[in-house]
Amino acid sequence: MSTPNISEEYIHQQRVALGAKLKAIRLERGLTLEQVGELIGTGKSTVSKIEAGTWNASISWFILFAHALEFDISFILK
């Protein structure tokens, strides 16, 4: 199986889209960056970078967000 040729721009756009969904959920829950950071065990700057799509977060981070903010992870992957 060959690796698909995906541009860095496309990857960035997908990270930004995932981050925007996380931010919308956070705001809907009335939580600050710092509060979410505390819930998932990191600092507010990491949460901010993930939401902005500027940090290459692994799936583990998205699982932490889903658990802490009580949503089904499939929601952000759609």
Domain extent at residue 57: 8-77
CA within 13 Å, CB half, 34: 0
The answer to the question of residue 3 being in a domain is no
Q: State pTM to two decimals.
A: 0.86
Q: How many domains does the chain have?
A: 1
The 10s digit of each residue's pLDDT in 57-75 is 999 999 999 999 999 999 8
The answer to the question of residue 33 being in a domain is yes
pLDDT band at 1 (very low <50, low <70, confident <90, very high): low
Residue 41 backbone class (left: φ over 0; alpha: ψ -120 to 50; beta: rest): left
The answer to the question of residue 1 being in a domain is no
Task: Kindly report the CATH number assigned to the domain that includes residue 61.
Answer: 1.10.260.40
The answer to the question of residue 17 being in a domain is yes
Predicted pLDDT at 47: 97
